[in-house]
């Protein structure tokens, strides 16, 4: 995220800069639903994300103040992630995205059903 608010042309640009990574929205979604997750749990919930990519996206979200990383110094080491207040404030946007995506999937399903040509 840019450090100067004047560097953005509009608020949407700032939003995209923060959550526009390949897996960031999904990370935020899972944390909003589960509260606290360990790295391995996030990996299982997001098998499409490589460990390297997941680590990078988590670090960027932490740097942007969207999530908190708690490191427990034990053997083996344990790291837990949770949303910060800023991250929790994004939850209504995630919920709206879920509703919108669900309605689009229903429309697509209905359209796919209509496109089936039956030859009786």
What mean pLDDT is reported for the chain?
89
Sign of the C-alpha dihedral computed for residues 94, 95, 96 and 99 taken in this order = positive
How far apart are alpha carbons 73 and 57 in whole angstroms? 22
Which whole number is the average pLDDT over 68-90? 94
pLDDT in tens, 48-69: 999 999 999 999 999 999 999 9
- The kind and range of the H/E element at 43 are helix 39-45
**What's the pLDDT tens digit per position in 8-57?**
788 888 888 888 988 999 999 999 999 999 999 999 999 999 999 999 99
**Are the CB atoms for 81 and 69 separated by under 8 Å?**
yes
Q: Cα(46)–Cα(54) distance, rounded to whole angstroms? A: 9
Q: What is the CA radius of gyration of the chain?
A: 18
Given pLDDT bands bounded at 50, 70 and 90, which one contains residue 2? low
Q: How would residue 107 be classed by pLDDT, with cut points 50, 70 and 90?
A: confident
Strands annotated E in the chain: 36-38, 67-72, 78-83
Domains observed in the chain: 11-88 (1.10.10.10)
35 φ/ψ sector (left φ>0, alpha ψ -120 to 50, else beta): left
- pTM (predicted TM-score): 0.83
């Amino acid at each position: 995220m840019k450090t100067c608010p004047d560097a953005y042309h509009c608020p949407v640009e700032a939003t995209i800069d923060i959550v526009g990574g390949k897996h960031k929205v999904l990370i935020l979604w899972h944390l909003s639903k589960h509260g606290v997750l360990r790295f391995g749990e996030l990996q299982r919930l997001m098998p499409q994300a490589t460990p390297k990519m997941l680590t990078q996206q988590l670090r960027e979200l932490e740097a942007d103040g969207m999530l908190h990383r708690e490191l427990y110094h034990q053997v083996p080491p344990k790291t837990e992630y949770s949303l910060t207040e800023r991250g929790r404030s994004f939850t209504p946007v995630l919920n709206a995205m879920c509703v919108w995506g669900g309605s689009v999937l229903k429309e697509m399903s209905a359209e796919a059903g209509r496109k089936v040509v039956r030859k009786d």
